[in-house]
Structure 1
């Protein structure tokens, strides 16, 4: 039994996961391979609470040697990992995740992400990753050496991480409130903004009238004093 590390950060499953077992399959796939290379069993993945274990199949090493020979003929082939649907032997219904097979000879670790169903708490989908790979995802350049064997191109992975993640829905889009419509179906036009004079004209008129009708008491008093002086 080959035990894997199971990481459970805060973004992953917080509650207990029901006991479950899933068979993992793998193959190297290329469009020119007719018929396509059949899936072979890689092992059984067991998930119980916070423990995961992978029991490798007896043909695991033989499969790697076969995949290496396919990679030599088809450098752009894909390495596929599939999870068998419970009770469904039809591989066309399985969930498959792929990486470029050219990265596997240089890979030092792999990660399997199992997505957990919120209904029965069992894995229903998976994502598969390997590292390190170039940022642009391009295949590394290799130098052929005389007498090299293709069986050593693929090596069993010694650093495997299994992550459990809850199924989640994408955030809802923020929608704007639709504009009000007239009975004819046209958008209601907002009222035109009034100018300062239009808003306060009545106060301006009242102020002007008050200035016009205000008595000139000081002028009349000065005029009366001047008349008395002349007398």
Structure 2
């Protein structure tokens, strides 16, 4: 029993080491910030039984406080979410999704959509959304003209949803059967539709002949004797 339990534990550890959870990073980005701010780790995804959850890092809330200070100077900055490529530490190769950072002070929920590879069912891309936001996507107006209050601008999300999406093949187009071709490569012309007379002329002629040669009706009985 001990050996079996030890073997199962080793298998579980080996499986976890061979298939690490995808790590999630985030930052605030603006073209005027040079060099760009580096990504900091926000957490990691856990995938089990077709269900995914996000475990936040210990510095998650502290990062938001730093982002708020950047947002004060650059109100049109972007909040970027990046998923680390497996075994690739180069940030330029990561999959990135962005939202306007000005929406974060007023949104209450976030959604991650992880797109799975059809080959190994591992996440290879992600989409990120926050809600609610205005229908036109514009930044909400603030009381202060210079930006946002750091203590209010970025709050850790209480509601987060992680969805898994597998690729779906589009329906095959309905193709028509190509028309038959002649040995010369030209479309075969359909035969000309015959008229009613052309189809049934022989029956019409036979009917007319039968009417012409038919004997006349027999005379009714001979005239009666003359009355005296």
TM-score by length of structure 2 reads 0.76
Could you tell me which runs of 5 or more consecutive residues in structure 2 were left unpaired when the two chains were aligned.
1-17
2:178 — aligned with what? 178
How far is the alpha carbon of 1:51 from its aligned partner? 5.5
Equivalent pairs, count: 209
Show the counterpart of 2:120: 120
Alignment correspondent of 2:12: none
Given the superposition, is the C-alpha separation of residues 226 and 208 from structure 1 closer, same or farther in structure 2, using an over 3 Å criterion?
same
Q: Give the 3 Å change call, closer, same or farther, for CA 23–202 of structure 1 in structure 2.
A: same
The 8 Å contact of residues 19 and 48 in structure 1, kept in 2 or not, is answered as no
Q: What's the TM-score, normalizing by structure 1?
A: 0.76
Q: 1:225 to 1:180 in 2, by over 3 A?
A: same
Paired position in structure 1 for 2:99: 99
Aligned-residue CA RMSD in angstroms? 2.9
Partner of 1:193: 193
Structure 1 residue 144: Cα displacement: 2.0
Equivalent residue, structure 2, for 1:13? none
The alpha carbon displacement at 1:142 in A equals 3.0
CA distance in structure 1 between the aligned counterparts of 2:113 and 2:189, rounded to whole angstroms: 53
Moved more, 119-128 or 83-92: 119-128
Q: Give the direction of change, closer, same or farther, for the CA distance of 1:50–1:181 in structure 2 (3 Å limit).
A: closer
Q: Which moved more, 1:154-163 or 1:72-81?
A: 72-81
> Which residue does the alignment assign to 1:213?
213
- Tell me what 1:61 maps to: 61
How far is the alpha carbon of 1:210 from its aligned partner? 1.4
Q: Is the 8 A contact 2:77 2:102 kept in 1?
A: yes
Q: Which has the larger displacement, 181-190 or 202-211?
A: 181-190
Which stretches in structure 1 are left out of the alignment for 5+ residues? 1-17
The CA deviation at 1:100 is 2.4
| Larger RCO, structures 1/2 (Cα 8 Å, 6+ apart) | 1
Query: Cα–Cα, structure 1 residues 38 and 174, in superposed 2: closer, same or farther, change >3 Å?
Result: farther
Once the two structures are TM-superposed, the CA of residue 151 in structure 1 deviates from its matched residue by: 4.2
What are the within-5 Å matches in structure 2 for residues 2-21 of structure 1?
A: 20-21=20-21
What is the rounded CA distance, in whole Å, between the counterparts of 1:142 and 1:198 in structure 2? 86
**1:64-83 Cα shifts (integer Å, max 9, x gaps):** 23333443444443322111
Following the alignment from structure 1 to structure 2, what is the Cα–Cα distance between the partners of residues 135 and 228?
113
User: What is the CA distance between 1:19 and its match in structure 2?
Assistant: 5.8
- How far did residue 21 of structure 1 move? 0.5
* Partner Cα separation in structure 1 for residue 81 and residue 95 of structure 2: 8
